[in-house]
Amino acid sequence: MLSATIKYVTKLHSECKIFVLSWTLIAAGIILAIIGGTLAWHQHQQNEAADKNAAAAEYRANHGHATGSNPSTIKPKPGAFTSWQVPADEPRYIFIPKISVKAMVKPTWQTKDGAIGTPTNIYDTSWYVHSAKPGQPGATFIDGHVSSSTSPGVFYKLKDLRPGDKIQVEKGDGAMVTYRVVKKVFYEYDSVNMKQALAPVNPNKAGLTLMTCAGDVIPHTTTFSQRVAVFAEET
């Protein structure tokens, strides 16, 4: 009788352990599911916040608070193009017939983080003031936006240029400097070779480097995955 009782208690104890273990596993699964759901919800909230911030940044840009990374999408007022003035030896306009570019060139400097500034408007271009002046030794560096979230920018078709295509830069005194495209280079957004971009493609001729964004927009950001640089030499 005692032996049978011991066997029964041992069996019951074993079944209880299995029962407790099963419920422990179920509880762990529920907890993991809750944690996973919480993380997914948090990520969703972050994504929504990023999208809202991007939209808010564009709104601010379109209402007179543009920054380099959040350019205005409002077209310049009539007369702004013809009235634009710069010193005689600096770039005033850029013309690229193949891709229908006719734009003002405005000066830019380095930002606080050491990057070269970009235009405050998607229809303008920027000349880096520490690069060469048009027609002078070295390379003139001009950048422009490929697009905003809603509109194509001045350099939207820059990637379509090919060797031999013509680019013209008009200086403040009205003199025109003509360049011929030599090559095109794509960089990953975080590994742009600025030393190469600021050097003339032909050391024996005045150079011109144009740059804009390329590739795809990195999810939940306003940053493109690549940069494209077009290198040209004076004809």
Task: Note the pLDDT tens digit of each residue in 50-90.
Answer: 455 445 444 444 433 344 457 889 888 879 999 999 999 99
What CATH number does residue 137 fall under? 2.40.260.10
HSE at residue 35, side-chain half, CA atoms within 13 A, is 6
Specify whether 94 is located in the same domain as 34.
Answer: no
At residue 149, the pLDDT reads 75
Is there a domain that residue 140 lies in? yes
- 111 and 176 housed in the same domain: yes
List all residues 6 or more positions away from 95 whose beta carbon is below 8 Å from its beta carbon.
101, 102, 167, 168, 169, 170
pTM of the model: 0.72
In the listed set 29, 61, 93, which residue is the last one of a domain according to the structure? 61
Based on the fold, state whether residues 147 and 208 are members of the same structural domain.
Answer: yes
Residue 219 and residue 115 in one domain: yes
Question: 80: which residues sit within 8 A by CB, 6+ positions away?
Answer: 104
Share the mean pLDDT of the chain. Answer: 81
Together in a domain, 87 and 47 = no
* Residue 66 domain flag: no
pLDDT of res. 173: 98
Cα(186)–Cα(115) distance, rounded to whole angstroms? 18
Q: Under a CB-based contact definition with an 8 Å cutoff, are residues 153 and 123 in contact? A: yes
pLDDT band at 231 (very low <50, low <70, confident <90, very high): very high
Exposed (0-12), middle (13-18) or buried (19+): which is 229, by Cβ within 10 Å?
buried
Domain count, the chain: 2
Which of 6-15, 74-83, 200-209 is the least confident region? 6-15
Residue 93, domain member (yes or no): yes
Among 34-38, 39-43, 65-69, where is mean pLDDT lowest? 65-69
**Euclidean distance between CA atoms 194 and 159, whole angstroms:** 18
Are both 115 and 196 inside the same structural domain?
yes
More confidently predicted of 151 and 127: 127
134: domain range?
80-234
Give 113-129 pLDDT, tens digit per residue.
888 999 999 999 999 99
